[in-house]
């Protein structure tokens, strides 16, 4: 990605209104999925890739999860997430990072939440970053969008979010499973959830099968 990345030009308010629109319904589903996997995994440390304004951070239990990192390409999104959650999550670190350009180790996480990011970075970049920033035995939750023959960006009347369609590329589940296996991740779970607009979220639960190799 370059500095012309459309995500740098989409206001957070527009993005969040789009995601929570009754025809889209993605914010509520992502929040519930985050809660489900945090409660199941009980990670001591976690990374949220594409954290945006912090949807899902409300489910962090500070007694269980002692270190929380959020990563996003848009600093304005991070600034808002900080204002919303810094007083609730003492360990919160927010980093402005483009994982397409930098996938080096910056953290060691028990759990990486990677929802709706591979569509904009590619599978390999998410897996590379995750491999470098997850401990042996750690969990990767990887959610992708299945359009089910619908437009990649639903029409909600919020014009700015249409820019994201220029860099959206649907993720092939078979390719994801192949590449994740080659990267040392083992699938232990999968679920599909339908959205109001007949799109779906497909969520894969992976664990690291061996000690990650720093790339």
Whether residue 103 is contained in a domain is answered as yes
Q: How far, in Å, CA of 191 to CA of 182, rounded?
A: 22
- CATH number of the domain encompassing residue 68: 3.40.50.150
Whether residue 42 is contained in a domain is answered as yes
Whether residue 186 is contained in a domain is answered as yes
What phi-psi label fits residue 105: left (phi over 0), alpha (psi between -120 and 50 degrees) or beta? beta
Q: Would you say 188 and 181 are in contact if contact means Cβ atoms under 8 Å apart?
A: no
pLDDT value at residue 148: 61
At 146-190, the pLDDT tens digits run 876 455 455 556 768 888 888 889 999 999 999 999 999 999 999
Give me the residues paired with residue 134 across strands.
Answer: 109
Residue 32 corresponds to which tokens in the numbers above?
């519930």
> Which strands make up the sheet holding 200-208, listed edge to edge?
92-96, 67-72, 45-49, 109-115, 134-146, 200-208, 185-194
Beta strand pairing call for 134-146 and 200-208:
antiparallel
Whether residue 27 is contained in a domain is answered as yes
Beta strand pairing call for 109-115 and 134-146:
parallel
Q: What angle do CA 106, 116, 203 make, to 5 degrees?
A: 100
Average pLDDT over the chain, rounded to whole?
A: 90
Whether residue 121 is contained in a domain is answered as yes
Residue 4 corresponds to which tokens in the numbers above?
């012309």
Q: How many residues does the chain have?
A: 215
Q: How far, in Å, CA of 49 to CA of 126, rounded?
A: 9
pLDDT value at residue 211: 54
pTM: 0.90
Average pLDDT of the segment spanning 34-62: 97
- Measured between its terminal Cα atoms, the distance across the chain in Å is 19
Q: 183 lies in which domain range?
A: 6-208
Domain count, the chain: 1
Nearest by Cα to 212 from 123, 117, 105: 105
Nearest by Cα to 71 from 29, 113, 32: 113
Q: How far, in Å, CA of 70 to CA of 57, rounded?
A: 9
DSSP, res 10: S
At 134-144, the pLDDT tens digits run 999 999 999 99
Whether residue 214 is contained in a domain is answered as no
At 69-120, the pLDDT tens digits run 999 999 999 999 999 999 999 999 999 999 999 999 999 999 999 999 999 9
Q: How far is CA 202 from the centre of its chain?
A: 13
Residue 91 corresponds to which tokens in the numbers above?
């360990």
Give me the residues paired with residue 203 across strands.
Answer: 143, 191
pLDDT value at residue 68: 98
Whether residue 202 is contained in a domain is answered as yes
């Amino acid at each position: 990605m370059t500095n012309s990345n459309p995500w740098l030009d989409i206001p957070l308010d527009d993005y969040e209104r789009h995601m929570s629109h009754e025809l889209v319904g993605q914010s509520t589903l992502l929040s519930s999925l985050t809660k489900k996997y945090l409660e199941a995994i009980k990670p001591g440390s976690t990374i949220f890739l594409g954290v945006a304004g912090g949807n899902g951070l409300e489910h962090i239990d500070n007694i269980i999860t002692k270190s929380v990192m959020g990563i996003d390409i848009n600093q304005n999104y991070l600034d808002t997430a900080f204002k919303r959650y810094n007083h609730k999550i003492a360990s919160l670190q927010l980093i402005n990072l483009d994982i397409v350009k930098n996938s080096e180790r910056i953290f060691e996480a028990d759990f990486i939440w990677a929802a709706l990011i591979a569509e904009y970075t590619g599978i390999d970049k998410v897996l590379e970053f995750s491999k470098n920033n997850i401990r042996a035995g750690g969990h990767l939750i990887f959610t992708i969008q299945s359009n089910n023959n619908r437009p990649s960006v639903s029409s909600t009347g919020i014009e700015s979010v249409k820019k994201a369609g220029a860099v959206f590329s649907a993720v092939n589940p078979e390719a994801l499973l192949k590449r994740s296996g080659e990267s040392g991740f083992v699938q232990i779970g999968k679920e599909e959830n339908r959205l109001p607009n007949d799109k779906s979220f497909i969520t894969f639960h992976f664990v690291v099968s061996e000690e990650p190799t720093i790339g």
